[in-house]
Amino acid sequence: MPSPPSWLMFAAKPPEMSDELNPELMSEVADAESFARITGAGPTAMADLERYRSYLTEWNRNMNLVGPKTLEVFWSRHAWDSAQILRLAPEALTWADLGTGAGLPGIVLAILGKNRPGYHVHLVESLTKRCRFLNEVVTALDLPATVHNSRAEDLSLAVDIVTARACAPLSRLLGYSRPYFQRGATALFLKGQDVASDLTEASRSWDFDAEVLQSLSDSRGRIVCVKRLGRGR
């Protein structure tokens, strides 16, 4: 009988998520106050996140950046959903957010890591109009981030972590991120409740090792941590 795909080893929690923290972390983030309490974000970061939310609201009137209704639950749906992955890679200094769109999770990561020496987020987006929005936010908030108006697979950046949220099926994401893996990256992909079928489909095309972690922002969500990406099948 053939061995099961390596991704079938699901992880209950990564080492950084201690049992004593889980009850609070899994509680609902409903507003700025609860977000600050759970993440430890200081006044400067919170002010930057509020400004980012304002930019999203303003630009979203003329551009499809995020679903309009999701702005009503910005702190849980966007800010906390993005910020949670920092707990999975607390030592990471360089990130690449592929197909970042409205800057999620990349802008949130850049805001929360703003004062860390050597910290930088690469925001990769192929649509020029979205890059205009991203550049305005990065400049206005003086963020440690670079906007790349490019297809993800056309770049080869040396980063600690490659990430993506609602960008593409995992099979395509692995293709996009292969140049980053070749330079030593690990991946943290924010995925939805259909992650099992996504992984099964990806395993038909790729040889990879991964863990599936529970999202802290949505009980239906999952985070796929890909630690090794081999050759395509």
Domain span including residue 111:
6-148+157-232
Closest CA to 55 of 93, 1, 107: 107
C-alpha dihedral, 19 to 23 to 24 to 30, nearest 10°: 140
Q: Is 26 within the bounds of a domain? A: yes
Interval 34-81: pLDDT, tens: 999 999 999 999 999 999 999 999 999 999 999 999 999 999 999 999
The token pair at 222 is: 């999952």
C-alpha 224/C-alpha 102 separation (Å) is 21
| The total number of structural domains that make up the chain | 1
Interval 176-212: pLDDT, tens: 999 999 999 999 999 998 899 999 999 999 999 999 9
Q: Is 124 within the bounds of a domain? A: yes
The token pair at 142 is: 């003086």
Interval 86-118: pLDDT, tens: 999 999 999 999 999 999 999 999 999 999 999
For residue 170, report the phi and psi dihedrals to the nearest 5 degrees: -60, -40
The token pair at 89 is: 């890679």
Question: What is the per-residue DSSP string for 176-190?
Answer: HHHHHHTTT-EEEEE
C-alpha 149/C-alpha 159 separation (Å) is 18
Q: Is 80 within the bounds of a domain? A: yes
C-alpha 3/C-alpha 220 separation (Å) is 28
Interval 151-165: pLDDT, tens: 999 998 999 999 999
Q: What is the CATH number of the domain that holds 192?
A: 3.40.50.150
For residue 11, report the phi and psi dihedrals to the nearest 5 degrees: -100, 135
Q: Is 178 within the bounds of a domain? A: yes
Compute CA distances 26 → 12, 32, 154, 204, whole Å. 14, 16, 37, 33
The 3-state secondary structure of 194-220 reads: CHHHHHHHHHCCEEEEEEEEECCCCCC
Compute CA distances 88 → 16, 57, 125, 174, 189, whole Å. 6, 29, 24, 19, 11
Q: Is 1 within the bounds of a domain? A: no
Average pLDDT, stretch 120-128? 98
